[in-house]
Amino acid sequence: MATRKPPAKPNTSKEELLTFYREMLLIRRFEEKAGQLYGMGLIGGFCHLYIGQEAVVVGLEAAAEEGDKRVTSYRDHGHMLACGMDPKGVMAELTGREGGYSKGKGGSMHMFSKERHFYGGHGIVGAQVPIGAGLAFSDKYKGNGRVTFAYFGDGAANQGQVAETYNMAQLWSLPVIFVIENNQYAMGTSVKRSTMSPDFWERGASYGIAGEAVDGMDVLAVKAAGEKAVAHCRAGKGPYILEIMTYRYRGHSMSDPAKYRSREEVQKIREERDAIEHVRELILQGKHATEDELKEIDKEIKAVVNEAAEFAKESPEPALDELYTDIYADTAPQNA
Amino acid sequence: MATEILMPALSPTMEEGTLAKWLVKEGDTVSAGDILAEIETDKATMEFEAVDEGLIGKILIEAGTEGVKVNTPIAVLVEEGEDADAAVKAAQEAAPAADADGKAASGGGSAPSAPAEPKRARPVAEPEIPEGTKMKSTTVREALRDAMAEEMRRDGDVFLMGEEVAEYQGAYKISQGLLDEFGSRRVIDTPITEHGFAGLGVGAAFGGLRPIVEFMTFNFAMQAVDQIINSAAKTLYMSGGQMGCPIVFRGPNGAAARVAAQHSQDYAAWYAHIPGLKVVQPYSAADAKGLLKTAIRDPNPVIFLENEILYGRSFEVPVLDDFTIPFGKARIWREGKDVTLVSFGIGMAHTLEAADALAKEGIEAEVIDLRTLRPLDTATVIESVKKTNRCVTVEEGFPVCSIGNHISAVLMQEAFDWLDAPVINCTGKDVPMPYAANLEKLALVTAKEVVEAARAVTYR
């Protein structure tokens, strides 16, 4: 991972830095709590944590406007928190409870919020990419000036449907930003071991799609790149690719022992490149807040997460008749 | 030596065509590759080239003649200096297949003929059509096009995308005229990327539009099946009811003719298996129209299975401003007391043919067209079996885990005491579709098999 170039004078404000700090910390504490609840058996199945990648969604959400859409894979908790979904509803979905965003029927990988324009939470690697282009298609059809962020990983970037989607998105000039969150490992397979042309963003060139690689551990760099991509899309110039170089500190899922990389590799990035530490330093250096004031924020975030966890534990399991609802939009089960 | 020029088969399912225009006249010299005529199939107007060189001795079929059967002699090619009339006479006498009026019997290698059109082209009860409604003879092809056009006029969020749907006017001419009326914003040619454009359609539906996604055939939808099942069918449930996917996936399904294993599969049972999908497979043009309009308005993903062989068939379609048919309602095409025959899609053609044959033997069959496979109108089937006490199901798909298997299970659970014989499932054979004409014929379900099954369950 390239070392971060320290900005001479960060193009930001006190408010923005504190917001970034707060939002990234919320994701990290939330995910730590989710890991803990998983260990207690309160969360089941697959649970993919976002720890380490927080700057990606927080930076890009800062570039989005109200009404813009987002869609992502199963590593989706961070995206939901960053776009303003309620941590209580997200955590309660993880525990499979009635108060969850999908009433407990979707789980960690399948959550949606029409209100926040969050279109999932998709469990099949790469499937969200054409769906993202389709969301952008609907916006272009309506001429409403909205853009869609279609997030996927370095693993999904090798899926055939991604290439199919690049072609159509450029052909039809769709306002979609393809966000490749390159955390360097597709489950246990490193980019080096799976990929012939490891600069994923350059693949857009064969379709005429503009793009760039971005330091994903620097939330300001992510936001700046996001603004550029959004402007490109809103100007009707078609899709844009952002390959955001990031890193996940935890395993692929909760059940991944992560033997494919060394402890030292992870430790080194945590110590030298952590996105939250970076913002914390900028805040302290710029004297935007004192250590004590930051501690106060930490406490607030912890309270929000604890409240979400309590809600997720207290919320009842879905009523048994929920088994047969929401299969069809107009009626209950039709084939019974 | 004179050679007869025969009416060519220009598509896998073509049985006859219109000789639209001659581009040569008697006495013209032609060489191989010269265009002789324009021939209109039900799908397109095609140019027809000479294979041999020679002189056009006689034109046997006038330009503008409709319904010229494949393999009918349409002209005679003679050699330079040969007496044209004598050569023509000799050629016609030499061709044993040609009968008195010049029509050739179909050759041994031609496509297996599609099931004959039944005499009774209208079902007995049509609750959706008010008494006295004017009817118009319409092909299934036109009915599907009309349904899309009407719904596109009604709702600006409806659009059509797929391979060759716009400028080519549809690979099977289903979308003919739609580009002209609705423009390229709403009638969209896609690249050949089924997985991608199916997913894009799903996203557009999530985004509030009402996509109609045409697959050139459902064989190709296998490339897109993840998006259909995992994204379209399951999202409403996974989102706790927040986000539905109002989309229609449509196109021809099942065997055409002589296109072999990868292009000849009936996917009805596959899709009917999936909760979250609605599955429609119409037989008549009226049902094709009324059900497609319902499908486009439905807030759920609908799999709309058409059939290439039926596209050119004409049926009476009611002339109504807004003719829709509800899902989940089977239609009784023929009432009878001796045996219930249950089918859908092209299986109905075999079934109605069989019912006619059975009637001659004194077996009165009740014929039920399921029309929609999910939701499935099992009540109508059960009611009928309570009357006839016997049931035969008919479909083109493979026998294992077929629609017929499911109906048999339902009857066993809910009408066991009324059954006087085991239910027989007539299906396609348990083999990939062969190419050879004789083997293909064997692989498909036939009216004869239905007749035999009906005899078996009635112990006659």
Q: Encode pLDDT of B28-47 as tens digits.
A: 999 888 899 999 887 788 88
pLDDT above 50: residue B446: yes
Partners of residue B237 in chain A, C-beta under 8 Å: 105, 326-327
pLDDT single digits (tens) B300-311: 999 999 999 999
Known catalytic membership, residue B66: no
Partnered with residue B393 across adjacent β-strands are B342, B425
- CA B7-B12-B16 angle, to 5 degrees, is 35
Quote the longest CA-to-CA distance of chain A. Answer: 67
- CATH fold of B151-314 reads Rossmann fold (3.40.50)
CATH number at residue A76: 3.40.50.970
pLDDT above 50: residue B110: no
State the angle between helix axes of B140-154 and B285-297 in degrees (0 to 180), rounded to the nearest 10: 30
- The SS3 call for residue A181 is strand
Pick the residue from chain A with its C-alpha nearest to B187: A141
- Cα distance between residue A334 and residue B376, in whole Å: 8
Partners of residue A106 in chain B, C-beta under 8 Å: 238-240
Closest Cα in chain B, distance from residue A197 (Å): 22
Q: Note whether A326 and B236 are within 8 A (CB).
A: yes
The residue among A213 and B103 whose pLDDT is bigger is A213
The pLDDT > 70 percentage for chain B reads 92
pLDDT above 50: residue B296: yes
- Cα distance between residue B325 and residue B142, in whole Å: 17
Residue B371 banded pLDDT, cuts 50, 70, 90? very high
Class of domain B3-94: mainly beta
Expressed as residue numbers, the domain containing A150 is 14-251+259-315
The residue among B86 and B150 whose pLDDT is bigger is B150
- Which range, of B74-78, B88-92, B174-178, B418-422, averages the lowest pLDDT? B88-92
**Mean pLDDT of the B395-420 span:** 98
Q: Which helix (H) or strand (E) holds B250?
A: strand B248-252
- Cα distance between residue B358 and residue A320, in whole Å: 50
Mean pLDDT by 10 residues, chain A (336 residues): 58 94 98 95 95 98 98 97 98 98 97 97 96 98 98 96 98 98 94 92 97 98 98 98 96 89 93 96 96 97 98 98 94 41
- Cα distance between residue A40 and residue B14, in whole Å: 67
The pLDDT > 90 percentage for chain B reads 80
ipTM of the complex: 0.93
Closest Cα in chain B, distance from residue A133 (Å): 6
Q: Of the candidates A16, A31, A62, A26, which has an alpha carbon nearest to the alpha carbon of residue A227?
A: A62
Residues of chain B with CATH 3.40.50.920: 331-457
Residues of chain B with CATH 2.40.50.100: 3-94
In degrees rounded to 5, what are phi and psi of residue A149? -95, 115
| Average pLDDT across chain B, whole number | 92
Query: Which residue, among B161, B228, B237, would best test binding to A if mutated, counting the most A CBs under 10 Å from its CB?
Result: B237
Output the CA torsion sign for B46, B51, B57, B60: negative
Residue B104 banded pLDDT, cuts 50, 70, 90? very low
Contact B227 A101 (CB under 8 A): no
Residue A71 lies in a domain: yes
Q: What is the DSSP letter of B230?
A: I
pLDDT above 60: residue B239: yes
- Alpha helices for A172-316 (secondary structure H): 191-194, 219-234, 263-273, 275-285, 291-314
Q: Which pLDDT belongs to residue B32? A: 87
Contact B240 A104 (CB under 8 A): yes
Pick the residue from chain A with its C-alpha nearest to B245: A329
pLDDT single digits (tens) A120-166: 999 999 999 999 999 999 999 999 999 999 999 999 999 999 999 99
**Mean pLDDT of the B107-134 span:** 62
Strands (DSSP E) found in chain A: 69-72, 118-121, 148-153, 176-182, 185-186, 189-190, 210-215, 240-245
Candidate list B126, B142, B263, B350, residue with the active-site label: B263
Contact A138 B208 (CB under 8 A): yes
Pick the residue from chain A with its C-alpha nearest to B297: A330
Q: Which pLDDT belongs to residue B107? A: 39
- Which range, of A130-144, A314-328, B53-67, B228-242, averages the lowest pLDDT? B53-67
- The SS3 call for residue A225 is helix
The count of domains in chain A is 1
List of residues 6+ apart from A169 with CB closer than 8 A: A133, A136, A176, A178, A207, A209, A238, A239
- Cα distance between residue B116 and residue A183, in whole Å: 62
- Encoded amino acid at A219, one letter: V
Q: What is the DSSP string of B410-441?
A: HHHHHSGGG-SS--EEE---SSPPPSSHHHHH
- Cα distance between residue A78 and residue A23, in whole Å: 9
Q: Which pLDDT belongs to residue B3? A: 86
CATH number of B331-457: 3.40.50.920
Residue B102 banded pLDDT, cuts 50, 70, 90? very low
In this complex, which of A137, A164, A333 lies closest to B193 when CB atoms are compared? A164
Contact A161 B206 (CB under 8 A): no
pLDDT above 90: residue B117: no
Pick the residue from chain A with its C-alpha nearest to B234: A327
- Alpha helices for B265-346 (secondary structure H): 268-272, 285-297
Burial B75-87 (b: 16+ CB within 10 A, else e): bbbbeeebebeeb
Inter-chain Cβ pairs, chain A and chain B, closer than 8 A: 162
Q: Which pLDDT belongs to residue B114? A: 56
Q: Which pLDDT belongs to residue B99? A: 45
Q: Which pLDDT belongs to residue A1? A: 55
Gyration radius (Cα) of chain A, Å: 20
Residue that is written with structure tokens 């330093």 in the block: A281
- Cα distance between residue B341 and residue B351, in whole Å: 7
- Cα distance between residue A257 and residue B395, in whole Å: 51
Residues of chain B with CATH 3.40.50.970: 151-314
Q: Which pLDDT belongs to residue B98? A: 42
Known catalytic membership, residue B263: yes
Gyration radius (Cα) of chain B, Å: 24
Closest Cα in chain B, distance from residue A123 (Å): 9
Q: Which pLDDT belongs to residue A255? A: 87
Contact B374 A329 (CB under 8 A): no
